[in-house]
Amino acid sequence: MRDGVFCIKVYGCQMNVYDGDRLRGAMTSLGWTETADALDADAVIFVTCSIRDKAEQKVISELGRFRPLWEKNKRPKVTLIGCMAQRTGANLARRFPWVRVVAGPRHMGDVPALIAESMDGGVFLRLDEDPSEMADLECAPLPRGNPHKAFITIAHGCDQFCSYCIVPYVRGRFASRLREDVLNEARGLVSRGVREITLIGQNVNTYGKDFGNGTCKNYRFADLLEEVSEISGLRRVRFTTSHPVDFSGDILDVMKRRANVCPGINLPVQAGSDKVLREMNRKYTRAEYLATVGRIRETLPEVGLSTDLIVGFPGESREEFEESVSLIEEARFDLVHSAAYSPREGTPAAARSDQIAPPERARRLSKINEVQSRISSEINRGQIGRVIEVLLDEPAPKGEGLLQGRTVTDKVVLVKAPAEMTGRFRSVRITDASPWCLEGELL
């Protein structure tokens, strides 16, 4: 099989990072060499995202850059995988002649061979048509960044069909990975020096619900979380993303009992108004959501709690928007991942006639960020003077001899420390705080 030089560009969520890491592992095991410079590569692989229009526009503008090189040397050959590839890849292959391989999220397993084949010509489309079909990559991830941390996707797709979300249409219906596959992968990573594992999925809490009547019929996410946490040598276990409807008490029990399961939870609320939550098809009310938050904080008083929030959902009145503002004031999250609503073609919400005008969406977004930045700052300033354990991950983006790491509650901490301390767990005294991160000194 032909090999050469490849370059991977990853957009979007951690599941795409994970897919990118596995594809890297597969390509290098086939003798390919990686380059960071796409213009230097024989094959360029885009792991694409469709969650918002902006993510897709980034890929389209990147694709345009290859025209001069393609017209001159008929390279690089481009591969599109992931959500955008599934949603619009076939059109992109028609529009950009250098797009030679297009594969949906459930055809990752076919990609390395198709890339090699495309070097000899031809265009290959492997879109996900049959939701039960899965050609997955049987290859452990080869993380680019910190060798001490890794993600593991535990399930593909989603059955929730929130009315604004494209995921069920591009990643397919919910499908749990086999328990043994996840456990074997986790053990393999720990044996290679990984000390922190994050279990990921669109909705990890429903793990196992599709295990039918086999041996694992009553096996649930809490069971998997417990088993992974029992792997010797694993210092930290995290998981994301949860859905409030499926956040069952047994998960909290495991988090309370298992010291190495990190008390950091991302629990997307998306809106504060019951009417908007109903029209989003989120399946819970404001009161039910806050009750879940209450249960979590009662069980785990030290928990770090973050959420996702969409502003400007079609038909959201100013008063309903203010209910989102009052919700974040009441819940006091450590962090809010906020976004202005972005219509996704093919979703029920995008077809609505009562879209909110972009300037008003932007106004609502900055209001939420302003309120949350005050709350996060107050919470983070409360950490000053405390001594906290941090896993020093990587050099901090702003440099200056700083390393960046995370607490068990998933707060970012910047510490002055030598590079060789990367991957180490260290006690840090917090000396300063901003809305987005803490600063500290090594003890």
Under the rule (CB under 6 A), what is the footprint of ligand SF4? 158, 160-162, 165, 167-168, 202-203, 243
CB of 165 to ligand SF4, least distance (A): 3
> Is the CB of 272 or the CB of 405 nearer to ligand SF4?
272
Contacts 24+ apart (CB under 8 A), 287-291: 288/244, 289/244, 290/327, 290/330, 290/331
Cβ closer to ligand SF4: 3 or 159? 159
Sign of CA dihedral 211, 216, 219, 224: negative
Q: Of the two residues 80 and 200, which places its CB atom closer to ligand SF4 in the complex? A: 200
Rounded Cα–Cα distance for residues 393 and 425 (Å): 9
* Shortest Å distance, C-beta 240 to ligand SF4: 11
SS3 category, 395: strand
Measured CA to CA, the distance from residue 80 to residue 94 in angstroms comes to 13
Instruction: Rounding to the nearest 10 degrees, give the CA dihedral for residues 224, 226, 232, 238.
Output: 80
The residues pairing with 34 across neighbouring beta strands, listed in sequence order, are 6
Angle between helices 318-331 and 286-299 (to 10 degrees): 10
Min CB(241)–ligand SF4 separation in Å: 7
Could you tell me the CA-to-CA distances from 114 to 20, 91, 106, 122, 125 in Å, in that order? 16, 19, 14, 10, 9
Reading the block at residue 300, the tokens are 């785990």
Q: Is the CB of 30 or the CB of 245 nearer to ligand SF4?
A: 245
Which amino acid is residue 253, in one-letter code? Answer: D
With beta carbons less than 8 A apart as the criterion, state whether 86 and 64 touch. Answer: no
Q: What is the Cα–Cα distance from 380 to 397, expressed in whole angstroms? A: 20
Q: Which residues contact 73 (CB under 8 A, 6 or more apart)?
A: none
Output Rg (C-alpha) for the chain, integer angstroms: 22
Q: Whose Cβ is closer to ligand SF4: residue 268's or residue 405's? A: 268
Shortest Cβ 95–ligand SF4 spacing (Å): 27
What minimum distance in Å lies between the beta carbon of 303 and ligand SF4? Answer: 21
**In this structure, how many other beta carbons lie within 10 angstroms of the beta carbon of residue 343?**
16
Nearer to ligand SF4, 45 or 158 (CB): 158
Select 146 or 266, whichever has its Cβ closest to ligand SF4.
266
CB of 161 to ligand SF4, least distance (A): 6
- In angstroms, what is the minimal distance from the CB of 310 to ligand SF4? 9
**Closer residue to ligand SF4, CB minimum distance, 12 or 143:** 12
Residue 242 Cβ, how far from ligand SF4 at the closest point, in Å? 9
